Structure 1
Amino acid sequence: MGDQVANSSQWLSSHWFQWETLQSFNWELSVVLYAFYVLPLVILIWFAIDIMKKQSLSIALTDRDIKWSPTSLLRLIPHLIMLLILSLLLLALARPQKTNEKVEQWTEGIDIMMLIDISESMQIEDFKPNRLEAAKDVARKFVLGRFQDRIGLVVFSGEAYSRSPLTTDYDLLNTYIDDIDFNLIEKSGTAIGSALAVGTNRMRESESKSKVMILISDGDNTAGNIDPIIAAELADAYDIKIYTIAIGKEGKVPFGKDFFGRTRYVENTLNETTLREIAKIGNGKFYRVSDNQALEDVFMLIDKYEKAEIKENRFKDTTDFYPIYLKWAIVLFLLWMLLKSTFISNILQD
């Protein structure tokens, strides 16, 4: 944006000569400020020339009649005023400014639906503190890393239901994530097909150029009346990309405590076939994770893959303050000219 000039009605304020104010400026021609280092030398030369030009008048007086008068110092006032004028001109030439830069960011955004398994097996503690809490933690971080993307949430076990529609209210969405627990759905099992169908239903009317579903589960499809492969094909028909994440270790894994408070271990197996096929149909990727860090790394990868281009406009609002110092210099110059016509400039020097 074009330069603006400081409000002329405020130039009389002493605020412009405070050290804090001078430090706050951006000096467009800061090299001019170095002239202040040679200004004393210029003043000395000026004084020397002025003294040489003065005419001396010999007057015979006794010591008793020679007295110093404080009024003789008045002759220095024009010189001090000229010093101020030169200083003000240097400040004006250095062009003090203040610039406010405004940045507008926008993006077309991506629609993302997260599908989180809350079946009983998500209580297994091979992740800390358990599989579900680990999934919730990375989901929260993923949400906070997005910019103007609409994100929704589906939870499922024996049934599936939409926990949150697509939204850009990330604080509200993270509240929904915080409130996820195993009591939200009473029916047991893992209805992967139903979860995909609910997510697709939420996204089918989306006009976003990029639509993504992220499915997190630790088991095979064991519930629901919708085949997961058919549900994946339906999602693909709506141009929805699907990432699937199989969560959990193979073999013996900790699962709660026994009667004596000792850690109980259960045998865990996971059939990856269905989740791999879903990701293939959905033109996404399949991931198998066995600890918290691996799960976090996968979400970071997805976050990197599914980034919309963020565009920005920058606006610079620059205000010039050199007219303030220039006006002061003009006023003082007029005062200096006035004093040249008064007795002050003709006071005798002892």
Structure 2
Amino acid sequence: MNINENWFSLEWFTWSKIQSLDWEQPLWFYALAIIPVLLLIRWLVLGKFRQRLPIALTQKDIKSDPISFLRFIPPMLFMLVMFMIVLALARPQSTNEQVEQWSEGIDIMLTIDISESMQIEDFKPNRLEAAKDVARNFVKGRFQDRIGLVVFSGDAFSRSPLTTDYELLNTYIDEIDFELIENGGTAIGSALAVSTNRLRESDSKSKVMILLSDGDNTAGNIDPITAAKLAQAYNIKIYTIAIGKEGKVPFGQDFFGRPRYVENTLDETNLREIAKIGSGKFYRVSDKQALEQVFAEIDRLEKAEIKETRYKDTTDFYPVYLRWALVLLLLWLATRSTFMVSALRD
């Protein structure tokens, strides 16, 4: 609404309009309670000191004249003037705030083991499905970061390049299964090399690799330590997560449908050394809750610096109420010069 063109509109006094405005000095509204008090004091003072003209009339000659009610118009106008001034002092305004956020972002490569042992059911429903679920939640919590996906067992290949299309990335995560790679084994070194190849051409100031595995390096044509040193040469930080419980763990069912248990061991040495070389951290998790906590910690540690610029456009509307106060003041002065002020009481 244009102030100069529509200040006389009665919409300024509707409850919906008053609610829609921002009032910078709302404490002035308490002054509204003083207005009727002032009018009451005025009425009492005038009532006490007003000159009275005694006239003797019989009861049948006393009649009410509607014109006598006109004497209330000037004080009502004056009350409205004060009301408008209070509204103006409360500084009604409309604020339109725009926020610009931008971030340099972080490049993150999720490197997930899909070897046969990831079918073990010490995580529900199994290790891989638990890892996929946590990975989806991790992706959901990122902002403007490019995230890629590498899977590995006996071989390693890139499932998704670095992308900010999180919906597409989650689709790739959903489609991860044990049939993606035929060769058995756990090629940790190859997985590190493929992930490094995806990250090495990145211009991001922060490049991160999250390696999740439940086994030792048993396949591939590159040693994990050598691959970790190669990643470190490209300033890639590596977090390693060893997933799985030690000892007997459920793995499928026997002929009678009963849970089958296998002995599970994991040498953490390689994963610890990889994290150390990559200036990251090593984690060992034995249940899904611990895995979620690890990803939550990595999420906190690897946050991009989000810079924010705010633009605040404020339009003041107090001139509208001051104009109304001026108009009503002129009307009050005009009525003060008429017979209304001296109209006799009944």
| RMSD of Structure 2 on Structure 1 (CA) | 2.2
What is the aligned partner in structure 1 of residue 191 from structure 2? 195
Structure 2 residue 73 is matched with structure 1 residue 77: yes
Measure how far apart 1:36 and its partner are: 1.8
From 26, 40, 45, give the equivalent of 1:44: 40
What is the aligned partner in structure 1 of residue 230 from structure 2? 234
Structure 2 residue 18 is matched with structure 1 residue 13: no
1:204–1:238 contact (8 Å) kept in structure 2: yes
Describe the SS at the equivalent of 1:267: strand
Identity of aligned residues (%): 70
1:6–1:323 contact (8 Å) kept in structure 2: no
From 61, 86, 91, give the equivalent of 1:90: 86
CA distance in 1, matches of 2:180, 2:234: 29
1:6–1:319 contact (8 Å) kept in structure 2: no
CA distance in 2, matches of 1:32, 1:327: 18
Q: Which runs of 5+ in 2 are unaligned?
A: none
Q: Which runs of 5+ in 1 are unaligned?
A: none
Describe the SS at the equivalent of 1:113: strand
What is the aligned partner in structure 2 of residue 339 from structure 1? 335
Query: Match for 2:71: what amino acid?
Result: R
- The CA deviation string for residues 321-342 of structure 1, in whole angstroms up to 9 with x for no partner, is 2112111111212222232344
Query: Match for 1:188: what amino acid?
Result: G
What is the aligned partner in structure 1 of residue 244 from structure 2? 248
What is the aligned partner in structure 1 of residue 275 from structure 2? 279
Structure 2 residue 161 is matched with structure 1 residue 165: yes
From 22, 43, 48, give the equivalent of 1:26: 22
Describe the SS at the equivalent of 2:341: helix
From 103, 123, 134, give the equivalent of 1:107: 103
Q: 5 Å matches for 1:289-304?
A: 289-304=285-300
1:6–1:321 contact (8 Å) kept in structure 2: no
- The CA deviation string for residues 112-135 of structure 1, in whole angstroms up to 9 with x for no partner, is 101001111101001111100111
Query: Match for 2:83: what amino acid?
Result: S
Query: Match for 1:203: what amino acid?
Result: L
From 304, 322, 325, give the equivalent of 1:308: 304
CA distance in 2, matches of 1:134, 1:322: 60
Measure how far apart 1:307 and its partner are: 2.0
CA distance in 1, matches of 2:36, 2:335: 23
1:144–1:170 contact (8 Å) kept in structure 2: yes
- The CA deviation string for residues 189-214 of structure 1, in whole angstroms up to 9 with x for no partner, is 22212211111111111111111111
Structure 2 residue 270 is matched with structure 1 residue 260: no
CA distance in 2, matches of 1:169, 1:238: 25
Query: Match for 1:122: what amino acid?
Result: M
Describe the SS at the equivalent of 1:345: coil
- The CA deviation string for residues 220-263 of structure 1, in whole angstroms up to 9 with x for no partner, is 22222222222212111111111111111222110111111100
Measure how far apart 1:9 and its partner are: 2.4
What is the aligned partner in structure 2 of residue 152 from structure 1? 148
What's the TM-score once normalised by structure 2's chain length? 0.92
Query: Match for 1:65: what amino acid?
Result: D
More moved, 70-79 vs 309-318: 309-318
CA distance in 1, matches of 2:60, 2:265: 119
What is the aligned partner in structure 1 of residue 265 from structure 2? 269
CA distance in 1, matches of 2:9, 2:183: 75
Structure 2 residue 143 is matched with structure 1 residue 143: no
Measure how far apart 1:318 and its partner are: 2.4
Structure 2 residue 91 is matched with structure 1 residue 123: no
CA distance in 2, matches of 1:282, 1:100: 47
- The CA deviation string for residues 103-160 of structure 1, in whole angstroms up to 9 with x for no partner, is 3322222111010011111010011111001111221122122222211111111221
- Residues matched between the structures, number: 346
Describe the SS at the equivalent of 1:216: strand
- The CA deviation string for residues 247-287 of structure 1, in whole angstroms up to 9 with x for no partner, is 11222110111111100111222222222222222222222
Measure how far apart 1:39 and its partner are: 1.6
CA distance in 1, matches of 2:54, 2:270: 117
Measure how far apart 1:54 and its partner are: 4.9
Describe the SS at the equivalent of 1:129: coil
1:78–1:340 contact (8 Å) kept in structure 2: yes
What is the aligned partner in structure 2 of residue 208 from structure 1? 204
More moved, 120-129 vs 301-310: 301-310
CA distance in 2, matches of 1:14, 1:162: 66
- Cα pair distance change 1:203/1:95, threshold 3 Å: same
Describe the SS at the equivalent of 1:185: coil
Describe the SS at the equivalent of 1:270: coil
